[in-house]
Amino acid sequence: MPPHCMQQEEQIMPGKKILMLTGEFTEEYEIFVFQQAMEAIGHTVHVICPDKNAGDLIKTSLHDFEGDQTYTEKLGHFFTINKTFSEAEKQLDQYHAVYAAGGRGPEYIRTDKRVQAIVRHFHETKKPIFTICHGVQILIAVDGVVRGKKVAALGACEPEVTLAGGTYIDLSPTEAYVDGTMVSAKGWTALAAFIRECLKVLGTEIRHSEDVAKAA
């Protein structure tokens, strides 16, 4: 083929593997929206819950602010776990990042020594850590993970972040914050910004074709 007819081929990088930590009544949107957005782009998201196998169901919760002094909680959809917990904890080297989803789940799975060991692996290997809403409670359970970090989370988690040696960042409900390879946000209303920043940390670049725009 003549040189002037050859098109430069762009290097296409394989998708990344992300491990999502959940428990019963983890926030619905923070599971479903994150997983589907990442997988639409070509990444793989394995969602695990302590003592659950692939195919098992967990209940999710819906948290919202509706004019009360704190958030309301409603039952969300069931979610089907897609990775057996005991398998994932033996395959941590295969994952490029860990994501601590929020909601009710973090307050109890953070006491699980196996979950703490997973978080410790990603911290010690300096892999990206993503956290939203109450998800920071999982990170705080492991000494040193948030120490010296600027972290966003639900406002009720501010004392815990501070006591763990972190700096709480009071963002708007639609913003996300990046400190090195840690991405954080207050809650599900920030998922668009949160996912966008997670993709940047993962090295994912999305381009919009001008040809498509012209054709439209």
Please name the helix (run of DSSP H) or strand (run of DSSP E) that holds residue 147, with its range, or none. Answer: none
Burial of 90 (C-beta count, 10 Å sphere; 0-12/13-18/19+)? exposed
Kindly state whether residue 101 falls inside one of the protein's structural domains: yes
Whether 37 and 195 have beta carbons less than 8 Å apart is answered as yes
Q: What is the pLDDT of residue 22?
A: 98
The span from the CA of 90 to the CA of 198, in Å, is 24
pTM: 0.91
Q: Indicate the DSSP class of residue 16.
A: P
The pLDDT of residue 216: 58
The CATH number assigned to the domain holding 138 equals 3.40.50.880
Helices within 82-177 (DSSP H only): 85-88, 106-109, 113-124, 136-140, 158-163
- Best CA proximity match to 164, nearest among 180, 153, 176: 153
**Counted domains in the chain:** 1
178 domain-assigned: yes
Identify whether 96 is part of a domain. yes
Tell me the pLDDT tens digit for each residue of 56-77. 999 999 998 889 898 899 999 9
Does some domain include residue 179? yes
Q: Is residue 48 situated within a structural domain?
A: yes
Least confident of 39-53, 59-73, 127-141, 200-214: 200-214
In a domain, 9, yes or no: no
Domain membership of residue 5 (yes or no) is no
pLDDT tens-digit series, residues 94-142: 999 999 999 999 999 999 999 999 999 999 999 999 999 999 999 999 9
Domain of residue 144, residue span: 14-215
138-172 confidence digits (pLDDT tens): 999 999 999 999 999 999 999 999 999 999 999 99
Average pLDDT over residues 36-52: 98
Is the pLDDT at 5 greater than 60, yes or no?
Answer: no
Alpha-carbon distance values, 105 to 76, 80, 100, 138 (Å):
13, 15, 10, 9
64 occurs within a structural domain: yes
